[in-house]
Structure 1
């Protein structure tokens, strides 16, 4: 990944994290690495833990950011979430999987995306 793409991705993750924090969510982890990948954001509020995949695009050439979170990616995130939960036992009540899409500077959060 190029430095420019890394910066864009980090900017999108910061924007998504700020959106959650403004709504009362606590950021438990950022860029948590497990076997087979990473989870961009892990958040908690009122006993609910959210695993959030952040996709950032600078334009529309590659479609909507959510399109990049296909079934294979969803399954990988579920496996990583299970690893995270094993590491941090007792941290969750209910679980949710969100996708935060940042495109042309605009943020759209798809709550319960999968």
Structure 2
């Protein structure tokens, strides 16, 4: 497996552990619909949370969360719509980003950004 895939998987594992420790119930991991993949789908306080995990080893090109562009937001929103439909969820939803920045092979900073974005009419 490519090194960036290993890093991504590690980031997703760290993000999942973070959410679980904070009392979230993990509903799905790497849920796909069409061309979109939602890294983590969680549930807490009657809200479904769609979390995009971005893991990087440096921020020379920007912070990890900067890489969730409008195209990615649109893909996530479309996949989330399908998930909500399939689960017949009638409550609130939220889109979070969990950004993980490693400063060496062991030490990292995790930034959980709640309500990181809300798909607007022009992204759907």
What's the TM-score, normalizing by structure 2? 0.85
Residue in 1 that maps onto 2:33: 34
> Structure 2 matches for 1:1-114, cutoff 5 A?
3-90=2-89, 93-104=91-102, 105-114=108-117
Residue in 1 that maps onto 2:121: none
Offset at residue 62 of structure 1 (A): 2.5
In the alignment, structure 1 segments of 5+ residues that lack a partner are: none
SS across alignment from 1:112: coil
Offset at residue 27 of structure 1 (A): 0.3
CA RMSD in angstroms comes to 1.2
The C-alpha deviation readout for 1:31-64, integer Å capped at 9, x for no partner, is 0010121000000012111000000001123210
Structure of larger gyration radius: 2
Offset at residue 79 of structure 1 (A): 0.5
SS across alignment from 1:106: strand
Distance in 1 separating the partners of 2:94 and 2:67: 19
Superposed structure 1 runs of 4+ greater than 6 Å apart? none
Work out the number of aligned pairs and report it: 112
Distance in 2 separating the partners of 1:80 and 1:113: 17
In the alignment, structure 2 segments of 5+ residues that lack a partner are: 103-107, 118-124
